[in-house]
C-alpha cells in the first residue's frame, strides 16, 4: 500500500465538500473548526466550491471534482479534510483522475458518505485513505480532546500505536446544544474471541455497499472489516447490508463494528442475533460497540492500512498506517 506522508506542523490542509456543502454549517461552527485546526499548527484553506449549495445541499459534480483534483494537484496542500458527509460522494467516482491522485499521495480523511470516495481512491490507486473526523467535527466542544488525540496519532506520527476505548461517549445532537451534552461510559464488547492481522477495509456499511459491482470496490478478501452505520438503519436493513458485504468479501480475518446510534434500535440482542447467522463469524475475532461511526467521539483509522486485532482483550494495534 502507498501510505501518504504524515502531516506536520505548518502543513496546509484543504477543506473540500465531495458530499454535502459547507453551507449547511453555521458561521460559528466554521470559525471554531478552523481555529482548532490552526491551533494544532495547520494552515487551513478551502476549496473554491466548498460552500456551493444546490437542491440537495451539495455542489455540481463538475465543481466537486475540480476541488478534489485541485487539492491533490496543489503541492502546497499536504492533507485534505472533507467538510461533512451526506449522500452523494459516489457520484464523483467515474470522473476522478486516479492517476493524478495516485501520483500525488496525501492524507485524505472523512467518514460516513465519504466512505465511497475514500474506498474508491484506495481501490484504484493503492493509496491509504482515512476514516476519521470531518472538518465540521472539530467544532465539537466536549469530547474533542480524545478524538483529536487519535487523529494526531494516526495522521501525524510514524510510530505504531494501539486504539483504545474512550472514557465516555454520546449520541446527542451536539451541534445543536454544545453545553448540555449527555454521556455514558464506554465499553467495547466481544462477540467472538480471537486474534488476526490484516488490512483494514470498510467504514460506513451502506455506503461501501454502493460500490458493489463497480470497479471502485476494494478487494476485501483476507481483510479485517471495520463497519458502522447511522440512525437511518434498522436491525433488518443492517442484517441485509452485512450479509451482502460478507458475500462479496468472501473469507475475512476479523470484524470490528462501530457503535450504533440509539435511533437505529440495533441493540446487543439484535447484534448477537444477526451475527449468529454467519458461520464465518464464529471462527474469527469480532468486536462491537467500538469508538467509530456516528456517535462521539471517534478514532481515526486507515483504509488499506494494516492492523493487529485481538478481540479477547479488545486490542487493536495499527501497524502500517
Q: H-type helices in the chain, by residue range?
A: 27-39, 61-73, 98-103, 114-125, 144-156, 205-208, 235-249, 268-275
What is the C-alpha to C-alpha distance for residues 321 and 304, in angstroms, rounded to an integer? 8
- Burial of residue 247 (CB within 10 Å: 0-12, 13-18, 19+) is exposed
Active site residues: 112, 228, 294
β-pairing, 224-228 vs 254-258, is parallel
What is the C-alpha to C-alpha distance for residues 93 and 57, in angstroms, rounded to an integer? 19
Backbone angles phi, psi at 89, to 5 degrees: -65, -20
Give Rg (Cα) of the chain: 18
β-pairing, 301-303 vs 286-290, is unpaired
Q: At what angle do helices 268-275 and 235-249 cross, to 10 degrees?
A: 30
What is the C-alpha to C-alpha distance for residues 298 and 269, in angstroms, rounded to an integer? 23
Let me know: does 251 contact 232? Beta carbons within 8 Å. Answer: no
What is the C-alpha to C-alpha distance for residues 64 and 62, in angstroms, rounded to an integer? 6
Q: Is 287 helix (H, G, I), strand (E, B) or coil?
A: strand
Let me know: does 33 contact 65? Beta carbons within 8 Å. Answer: no
What is the C-alpha to C-alpha distance for residues 315 and 164, in angstroms, rounded to an integer? 7
Let me know: does 169 contact 293? Beta carbons within 8 Å. Answer: no
Let me know: does 32 contact 78? Beta carbons within 8 Å. Answer: no
Q: Cell digits for 260? A: 450504533
Amino acid at each position: 500500500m502507498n501510505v501518504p506522508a504524515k502531516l506536520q506542523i505548518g502543513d496546509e490542509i484543504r477543506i473540500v465538500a465531495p458530499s454535502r456543502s459547507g453551507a449547511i454549517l453555521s458561521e460559528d461552527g466554521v470559525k471554531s473548526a478552523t481555529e482548532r485546526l490552526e491551533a494544532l499548527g495547520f494552515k487551513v484553506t478551502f476549496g473554491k466550491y466548498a460552500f456551493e449549495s444546490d437542491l440537495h445541499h451539495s455542489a455540481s459534480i463538475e465543481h466537486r471534482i475540480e476541488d478534489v483534483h485541485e487539492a491533490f494537484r496543489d503541492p502546497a496542500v499536504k492533507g485534505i479534510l472533507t467538510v461533512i458527509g451526506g449522500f452523494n460522494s459516489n457520484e464523483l467516482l467515474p470522473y476522478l483522475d486516479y492517476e493524478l491522485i495516485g501520483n500525488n499521495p496525501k492524507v485524505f480523511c472523512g467518514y460516513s458518505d465519504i466512505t465511497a470516495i475514500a474506498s474508491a481512491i484506495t481501490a484504484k490507486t493503492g493509496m491509504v485513505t482515512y476514516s476519521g473526523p470531518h472538518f465540521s467535527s472539530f467544532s465539537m466542544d466536549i469530547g474533542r480532546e480524545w478524538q483529536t488525540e487519535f487523529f494526531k496519532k494516526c495522521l501525524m506520527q510514524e510510530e505504531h500505536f494501539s486504539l483504545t476505548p474512550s472514557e465516555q461517549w454520546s449520541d446527542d445532537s451536539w451541534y445543536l446544544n454544545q453545553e448540555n451534552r449527555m454521556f455514558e461510559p464506554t465499553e467495547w464488547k466481544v462477540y467472538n474471541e480471537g486474534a488476526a492481522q490484516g488490512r483494514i477495509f470498510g467504514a460506513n456499511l451502506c455506503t461501501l455497499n454502493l460500490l458493489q459491482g463497480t470497479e471502485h470496490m476494494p478487494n476485501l478478501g483476507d481483510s479485517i472489516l471495520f463497519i458502522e452505520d447511522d440512525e437511518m438503519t434498522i436491525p433488518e436493513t443492517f442484517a441485509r447490508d452485512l450479509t451482502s458485504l460478507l458475500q462479496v468479501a468472501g473469507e475475512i480475518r476479523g470484524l470490528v463494528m462501530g457503535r450504533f446510534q440509539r435511533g437505529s434500535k440495533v441493540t446487543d440482542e439484535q447484534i448477537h442475533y444477526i451475527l449468529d447467522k454467519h458461520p464465518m463469524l464464529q471462527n474469527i475475532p469480532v468486536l462491537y460497540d467500538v469508538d467509530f461511526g456516528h456517535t462521539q467521539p471517534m478514532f481515526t483509522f486507515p483504509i488499506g492500512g494494516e492492523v493487529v486485532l485481538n478481540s479477547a482483550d479488545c486490542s487493536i494495534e495499527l501497524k502500517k498506517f
